Structures are given as C-alpha cells and as structure tokens.
Amino acid sequence: MGYKCPVCEKTWLDTMELARHMFGTGDQAHKDWVNSKGLNFVELLLIQTMEPGNKGYKTLAELLEKEAEKVD
C-alpha cells in the first residue's frame, strides 16, 4: 500500500512522505505539477516555516491524497 509520485513515479508509504519527497526534490518538474494543481509550490514552502503546525506539507499531502495514484 503506497502512493506514487505523479512526476517521477517513486512510491511512498503515505502522502506526507510523498509531499516530503516532492518538496525535497524541488526540481522544475515537481514544482510545475504542484503549480498546475492551483497551488503555489514556493508559497507552500514558505508557509511551512512562517506558520506553525506543518501547514505547507499538510496542504500538499491533502492534495496528493486526492490526486496521487494509490498502489498496493
């Protein structure tokens, strides 16, 4: 059971891990995908540090919950 990265297809245990992977990689391809979903990659990163409670990563994780392909 896991989630596939919509860009490089690596599989991750949960969407939080997947979000971590996407931010950590942070190349254009991953940025573009996030931005194409109506979020702003860089904004999310900055929100993450400016506001408490893991907000940036949670927001992306929620999106991935819906968007990312699940695999078993």
Partner 1 sequence: MKKYKVINTHIHNIDGIAKVTGRAKYTFDITLPQMLHGKILRSPYPHAKILTIDTSRAEALAGVKAVVTGKDTLGIKQGIWRRYKELCDEEILARSKVRYIGEPVAAVAAVDEDTAEEAMDLIEVEYKALPGVFEPLEAIKEGAPQLHEHAERNINVTRHIEWGDVDEAFKKADFIREDWFRCSSQAHVCMETHCAVASYTPEGKLTVWTSTQSHYYIQVLLAGILGLRENDVRVISRYTGGGFGSKFELDSAQFCSSLLSMKLSKPVKIVLSREEEFMATKRRTPMFYYVRSGVRKDGTFLAKEARAFTEGGAYTAMGATALYLTGFFQAFPYVWPNYRYDGYRVYTNAAPTSAMRGFGAPQAAFCSETQIDLIADELGINPIEIRRKNAMYPGYEVPGQATIQSCGLTQCLDKVEKWIKKRGKLPPHRGIGIAAYGFMSGGIFNWFDTPYAFSSAVIKINIDGKVDLYVGSQDMGQGSNTTLAMICAEELGVRVEDICLHMGDTETCPVDLGAWGSRETLMQGNAVKMAAAEAKQQLIEFAAAKLAPNIVYDLDIKDCWVHLIARPERGISYFDIVKEAIRGREGQPILARGHYTPHRKGMISPAYSFGVQAVEAKVCPDTGKITLVNCVTAHDCGQVINPLGVQGQLEGAIAMAAGYGFTEDLPMDEGKILNPNLVDYKILRATEMPETNVVEVETYEPEGPFGAKEAGEGLTNPTAGALGNAVYHATGLSIKDLPITSEKVLQALQEKKAKKSKIS
N- to C-terminal Cα separation, the chain: 4
- Angle, in degrees to the nearest 10, between helices 15-25 and 41-50: 110
Q: Rounded to the nearest whole angstrom, what is the least distance from the CB of residue 70 to partner 1 in the complex?
A: 21
Min CB(66)–partner 1 separation in Å: 21
Residue 8 near residue 26, CB atoms below 8 Å: no
Residue 23 in contact with partner 1, rule: CB under 8 A? yes
Q: What's the closest the beta carbon of residue 56 comes to partner 1, in angstroms?
A: 8
How many angstroms from the chain centroid is the CA of residue 65?
A: 9
Which of 2, 7, 10, 16 is the binder for partner 1 (CB under 8 A)? 16
Site for partner 1 in 38-67 (CB under 8 A): 41-42, 45-46, 48-49, 52-54, 57
